[in-house]
Amino acid sequence: MEKSFIARNLKFNFIFNVLDGGFFGFALGFASFTTILPLFIANLTDSALLVGLIPAIHNMGWQLPQLFTARWIAKKKVLKPTVLKVSIHERLPFLGFAFVALLIPVIGKDAALVLAFILLVWQGLGSGFTANPWQVFVAKIIPSDTFATFIGAQSAAANLLASIGAVAAGYLLEHLPFPGNFALCFFIAVGFFIVSWLMLAQAREPEREQVVQEQNLNIFKDVTRILKKDNRFFWYLISRMVYQFGMMAFAFYMVYGVKHLSMTESTAGIMTSVLFITMVVSNPVLGWLADHWSKRWILELGALSGVASALLAYFASSISTFFLVFILNGIASTAFWSIGIAYTMSFGSEEERPTYVGMSNTFIAPSAILAPLVGGWLADSAGFKTTFLVSAALGLLAVLVIHLSASAKPRQDVLQQQA
């Protein structure tokens, strides 16, 4: 019954979930964690370390809670009501950013900086409590043989609209005075977040025919068992951690361009658009290749793109070079996030999926916050180029770990005990 329901509603769910992602991306074009928010914080402080905290807080907030929500999710017959409730907390903080920007002339930059980071923590945790139920929800209504293709299509829609939003945001930032320019960008973002939420609310979900019983739920026991039996997944987790450090340079490209290569706000908007357009193209292409070729090889390709991006930024002497830097950045980010989600879904059974999803994110949360902090510390103490070079070296290490993870075998002693 459940499978027939999913088949009948696949086209409907595919369309409305792509629309959800598309409008979510449109919103982020006006409030990007890679460009707009770093520029906003850079107007409040000269510290590269604090700029590096922006993606660190977002990534850690998105990843850390996911394992701890697995038990909660596994008991639910339907997930959409939960997803709709908790996702409000990943959208509403942007309204707070808008009001903080408007109040800067009254409260001053120091107070605005503190409030901005409180909002970043709220938004990050809101994303984290949404992430696991949303991923399991989507995996439930989209069949596994088209899941990577769906993620690619949704991400392409998100990044296409985000690229348009980024150009518009760049125009607003350059032609309107600070801080009203940022406030307007954040208000527009909130409007598109609301539309995105309404699209998500249209999705059709069947009740689960079976759920995990309370007495069978022991997350920490399940985690221990999975880590012991599934060496391939264990090394996949290690590769995700190292990959985070390979991408730590990405948070500083825009600030480096503005401070050292005379990048204007309009050019920053165009660069953001280039990043998002790259994701528009790379998401469906990499998604299709992952479904029909190899998810692991696509992850390796993504990590190598991150290495090339950081090295180009290191050697760049003009803004023109940064177009390719952002293109490679987009490919690396697509592989890590979109293909990473799809690859995670290939581990374990349906009953184990919330735990696998949680582990694949919660376990790498420490590296998610440490990587940008290390990058910011290196930038403050030794310059941005040092951050770029170290990031490239760690990216190469990530490629090696991803490659070797495929050869990991299950522990035979654990399998024999289970038998």
Rounded distance, CA 172 to CA 193, Å? 19
**51 pLDDT above the threshold of 70:** yes
**213 pLDDT above the threshold of 70:** no
Please give the pLDDT value at position 302.
93
Please give the pLDDT value at position 413.
42
- Does some domain include residue 210? no
- Does some domain include residue 49? yes
Please give the pLDDT value at position 143.
85
Rounded distance, CA 355 to CA 40, Å? 36
Q: What is the CATH number of the domain that holds 16?
A: 1.20.1250.20
pLDDT greater at residue 304 or residue 4: 304
**227-257 confidence digits (pLDDT tens):** 888 888 888 999 999 999 999 998 889 889 9
Please give the pLDDT value at position 40.
94
| Alpha helices (runs of H) in 293-406, residue ranges in sequence order | 295-315, 321-334, 340-344, 353-362, 365-382, 384-405
Please give the pLDDT value at position 71.
74
- Does some domain include residue 286? yes
**277 pLDDT above the threshold of 60:** yes
Please give the pLDDT value at position 398.
94
The band of 215, judged by pLDDT with boundaries at 50, 70 and 90, is: very low
- Percentage with pLDDT > 70 across the chain: 94
Q: Are 38 and 255 in contact (CB under 8 A)?
A: yes
The per-residue DSSP string of 77-117 comes to S--HHHHHHHHHHHHTHHHHHHHHHHHHHHHHHHHHHHHHH
Predicted structure pTM score = 0.73
**305-353 confidence digits (pLDDT tens):** 999 999 999 999 888 889 999 999 999 988 988 888 778 877 877 677 7
**123-152 confidence digits (pLDDT tens):** 999 998 998 889 889 988 888 777 777 887
- Does some domain include residue 200? yes
Question: What mean pLDDT comes out for the span 84-108?
Answer: 96
- Does some domain include residue 40? yes
**Based on the structure, what is the number of domains in the chain?**
1
Rounded distance, CA 102 to CA 90, Å? 21
The band of 211, judged by pLDDT with boundaries at 50, 70 and 90, is: low
Rounded distance, CA 330 to CA 134, Å? 23
Residue with tokens 């510290």: 47
Please give the pLDDT value at position 87.
95
**415 pLDDT above the threshold of 80:** no
Give one word for 264, left, alpha or beta, with left for phi > 0 and alpha for psi -120 to 50: beta
- Does some domain include residue 155? yes
Q: Are 306 and 328 in contact (CB under 8 A)?
A: yes
Residue of 109, 84, 384 whose CA lies nearest to 249: 384
**56-79 confidence digits (pLDDT tens):** 788 778 878 877 777 777 777 888
- Does some domain include residue 256? yes
Please give the pLDDT value at position 239.
92
The band of 412, judged by pLDDT with boundaries at 50, 70 and 90, is: very low
Assigned token pair, 109: 């930059």
The per-residue DSSP string of 123-167 comes to HHHHHHHHHHHHHHHHHHHS-GGGHHHHHHHHHHHHHHHHHHHHH
The angle at the Cα of 127, spanning 324 to 60, to the nearest 5 degrees, equals 70
Please give the pLDDT value at position 210.
58
CB-based burial label for 11 (10 Å; 0-12, 13-18, 19+): exposed
Number of other CB atoms surrounding residue 3 within 10 Å:
10
Assigned token pair, 182: 């940022």
CB-based burial label for 194 (10 Å; 0-12, 13-18, 19+): middle
Please give the pLDDT value at position 209.
63
| Separation of CA 128 from chain center | 10
Please give the pLDDT value at position 410.
55
The band of 419, judged by pLDDT with boundaries at 50, 70 and 90, is: very low
**363-405 confidence digits (pLDDT tens):** 888 887 788 889 989 998 999 999 999 999 999 999 999 888 7
**53 pLDDT above the threshold of 80:** yes
What does pLDDT average to over the chain?
86
The dihedral of CA 403, 409, 411, 417: what is its sign?
Answer: positive
- Does some domain include residue 209? no
**418 pLDDT above the threshold of 50:** no
pLDDT greater at residue 348 or residue 286: 286
Q: Give the residue numbers spanning the domain of 31.
A: 2-204+217-418
Residue of 170, 168, 161, 200 whose CA lies nearest to 280: 161
